[in-house]
Amino acid sequence: MNKNMGNLDKLIRVLLAMVFVILYLTSTVTGTLGLALVAIAVLFVLTGLVSFCPLYTIFGINTCSIKK
């Protein structure tokens, strides 16, 4: 599993995850949509931590600046 996410991409994912969780915790977004946003937030944080996004592999995207 090669890294395919750059630092900016990881930062954006973590910030979006924080926004999604805050929206859910403040009851701005509730119900099924709220739970879906929390699930997406968890995925964003996990993919950010491991620097790998499976969808990027499928679409051939690589934002990592480190050359092999």
What DSSP line would sit under 18-33, residue for residue? HHHHHHHHTTSS-HHH
pTM of the model: 0.85
- pLDDT tens across the length of the chain (68 residues): 788 999 999 999 999 999 999 999 999 999 999 999 999 999 999 999 999 999 999 999 898 886 65
- Strand ranges for the chain from DSSP E: none
Distances (CA, A) of 62 to 6, 16, 26, 31, 39: 8, 20, 35, 34, 24
Q: Which pLDDT does position 67 carry in this prediction?
A: 62
DSSP 4: -
Q: Which pLDDT does position 65 carry in this prediction?
A: 82
Q: Which pLDDT does position 15 carry in this prediction?
A: 96
